[in-house]
């Protein structure tokens, strides 16, 4: 039996790595990453990557294996600035790690600050494996995509952006309005539990409205005595849905002191079990069973590499709407997500509709240049990361307007700026809501709705959703 204990692992890792002189010569920084079980992966950064030959890496691996035994994961990662996935991983590592001497401050430890290379520790107490996992199985979906195609079940579509504030919630609302007005049945679910916003867009006062957080906490305890219906709001205002169908809305929950207590418990469950995954799946099935004719369930996921977002995007969705603007940060993050969604030839890639969000408006002098750059970057990233391992799946033509990499452009619009509301009491408010709805059912949102309908073989009338219900 191994005599290595959790408490000794960081120090042992440091000793083992420091004893390897050629490694010390080659690296600028070493990050010791410790996973949920306490096992170590080492992340090596060096300016001259070629100095880290395979033989040296093998030696380091052997040293770690002998010193850490069961506490070594077997993984050594070497940073590679040319690889976009590593670049975004590195952003996460850099933002979350701490110097090793801080981690060992309670121990008799001589790892001096300023030594070459710098040693860091990254504690992965929060599991981000949904985002990192390269292989996934279709069985995690709440129901198979063939049920969606056969119109037996709705398509679950997650709206995702790597950065916040790009209009994710607003686009989800706009697309839902377009589809509802056309006679589709839509449900919207706010999974942005840390910063919920969907319900307040549609309702002035949601009072003590319960929601996703309550379901995730209560359902495992109450089982069938707790139903999702208790949490669902209905958007049926004719100013919004015209003659179309009501939209179902499941808010995140009421934000009060209890909300934080519930959220904290969910965060912890994420680290310790798969219960949230199971309950979320159950939630989707229950919604689909309760509102039988649903065509779409839209999930508003949190931005960034958040766990619930990862769960929604990588395990629950039949398609992902991915919003980004043209910035390095967006592309670093989205590249990594696109890579995960590709399925790596092991399963079908998850369908994606890309959105160039907050694009400069048509009269802006940079509009066409920025749109072209976004489009070109998208094509390049999808080529490298979405289609790379796909074997016989051919890359659509670069000019195919419905290809995953061909973005729907949603321009910045003055009327949507600031804290917008769709609820109204006075005539003035109603006129303001009507003006907002005209924009939210206008061309970009209509185009996005059409792309989603197309993905799942739903008829989408030419002329789109700004019009009233067609059938
Ligand atoms: N096309 C647009 N043009 C201008 N402003 C917009 C547009 N779409 C949304 N907005 C505004 O930008 C802000 C952010 O939008 P929204 O809340 O939809 O973004 P988000 O990506 O969901 O943000 P968060 O990450 O905070 O949830 C809001 O004030 C919204 O009214
Ligand atoms: Mg939002």
Question: Residue 459: what pLDDT?
Answer: 93
Distance 137 CA to ligand 1 centre (A): 33
Tell me what the mean pLDDT of segment 458-466 comes to: 77
Q: 122: which 2 tokens? A: 């990254």
Cβ atoms of 322 and 355 within 8 Å: the answer is yes
- Separation CA 24–CA 71 (nearest Å): 22
Question: Residue 135: what pLDDT?
Answer: 43
User: How would DSSP label each residue in 103-143?
Assistant: HTTTS-----TT-SSEEEEEE--S--HHHH-S---GGGSSS
Ligand 1 near 361 CB (within 6 A): no
Domains and CATH numbers, the chain: 6-125 (3.30.70), 131-455 (3.40.50.300)
**Which atom from ligand 1 is nearest to the alpha carbon of 165?**
23
Instruction: Give the SS3 label for residue 189.
Output: strand
Distance 188 CA to ligand 2 centre (A): 12
Determine the distance from the C-alpha atom of residue 402 to the mean position of all C-alpha atoms in its chain, rounded to a whole number. Answer: 22
Half-sphere exposure of 377 (CA within 13 A, CB side): 22
- Separation CA 445–CA 13 (nearest Å): 52
Tell me what the mean pLDDT of segment 174-196 comes to: 96
pLDDT reading at 103 higher than 80: no
Question: Residue 372: what pLDDT?
Answer: 95
Among the residue ranges 36-50, 58-72, 130-144, 409-423, the one predicted with the least confidence is 130-144
- List, for residues 384-430, the tens digit of each pLDDT value: 889 877 666 678 888 899 999 999 999 999 999 999 999 999 999 99
Question: Residue 250: what pLDDT?
Answer: 98
Tokens 């070629």 correspond to what residue?
Answer: 50
Distance 397 CA to ligand 2 centre (A): 33
**Which atom from ligand 1 is nearest to the alpha carbon of 303?**
25
pLDDT reading at 471 higher than 50: no
- Main-chain phi, psi angles of 372, to 5 degrees: -65, -45
- Separation CA 352–CA 349 (nearest Å): 9
Angle between helices 168-181 and 427-440 (to 10 degrees): 90
* Greater model confidence, 345 or 9: 9
Ligand 1 near 414 CB (within 6 A): no
Cβ atoms of 59 and 92 within 8 Å: the answer is no
pLDDT reading at 324 higher than 90: yes
Could you tell me the CA-to-CA distances from 128 to 22, 72, 74, 213, 314 in Å, in that order?
32, 19, 19, 20, 12
- List, for residues 273-321, the tens digit of each pLDDT value: 678 889 999 999 999 999 999 999 999 998 887 788 888 998 899 999 9
* Greater model confidence, 246 or 397: 246
Cβ atoms of 409 and 446 within 8 Å: the answer is no
Instruction: Give the SS3 label for residue 249.
Output: strand
pLDDT-based confidence at 20, cuts 50/70/90?
very high
Closest CA to 311 of 163, 132, 130: 130
């Amino acid at each position: 039996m191994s005599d290595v204990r959790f408490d000794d692992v960081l120090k042992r890792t440091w000793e083992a790595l420091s004893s390897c002189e050629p490694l010390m010569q080659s690296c600028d920084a070493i990050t010791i990453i410790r996973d949920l079980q306490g096992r170590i992966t080492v992340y090596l950064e060096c300016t001259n990557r070629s100095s880290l030959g395979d033989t040296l890496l093998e030696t380091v691996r052997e040293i770690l294996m002998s010193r850490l035994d069961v506490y070594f994961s077997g993984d050594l990662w070497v940073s590679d600035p040319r690889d976009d996935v590593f670049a975004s991983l590195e952003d996460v590592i850099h933002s979350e790690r701490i110097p090793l001497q801080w981690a060992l401050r309670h121990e008799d430890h001589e790892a001096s600050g300023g030594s070459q290379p710098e040693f860091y520790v990254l504690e992965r107490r929060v599991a981000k494996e949904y985002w990192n996992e390269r292989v996934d199985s279709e069985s995690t979906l709440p129901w198979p995509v063939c049920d969606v195609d056969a119109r037996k079940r709705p398509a679950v579509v997650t709206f995702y952006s790597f950065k916040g504030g790009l209009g994710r919630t607003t686009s989800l609302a706009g697309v839902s309005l377009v589809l509802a007005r056309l006679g589709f049945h839509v449900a919207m679910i706010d999974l942005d539990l840390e910063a919920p916003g969907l319900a307040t867009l549609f309702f002035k006062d949601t009072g003590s409205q319960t929601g996703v957080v309550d379901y995730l906490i209560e359902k495992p305890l109450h089982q069938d005595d707790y139903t999702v219906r208790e949490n669902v709001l209905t958007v049926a205002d004719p100013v919004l849905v015209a003659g179309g169908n009501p939209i179902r809305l499941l808010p995140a929950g009421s934000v009060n002191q209890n909300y934080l207590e519930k959220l904290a418990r969910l965060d912890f469950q994420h680290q310790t079990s798969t219960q949230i995954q199971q309950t979320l799946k159950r939630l989707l099935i229950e919604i689909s069973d309760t509102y039988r004719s649903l065509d779409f369930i839209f999930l508003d996921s949190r931005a960034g590499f958040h766990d619930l977002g990862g769960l929604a995007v990588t395990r629950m969705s039949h398609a992902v709407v991915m919003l980004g603007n043209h910035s390095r940060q967006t592309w670093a993050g989205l590249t990594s997500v696109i890579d995960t969604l590709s399925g790596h030839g092991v399963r079908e890639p998850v369908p994606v509709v890309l959105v160039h969000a907050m694009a400069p408006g048509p009269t802006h002098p940079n509009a066409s240049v920025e749109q072209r750059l976004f489009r070109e970057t998208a094509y390049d990233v999808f080529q490298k990361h979405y289609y790379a391992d796909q074997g016989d799946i051919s890359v659509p033509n670069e000019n195919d307007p419905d290809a995953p990499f061909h973005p729907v452009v949603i321009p910045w619009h003055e009327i949507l700026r600031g804290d917008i509301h769709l609820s109204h009491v006075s005539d003035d408010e109603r006129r303001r809501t009507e003006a907002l709805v005209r924009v939210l059912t206008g061309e970009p949102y209509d185009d996005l709705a059409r792309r989603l309908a197309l993905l799942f073989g739903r008829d989408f009338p030419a002329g789109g959703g700004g019009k009233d219900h067609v059938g």
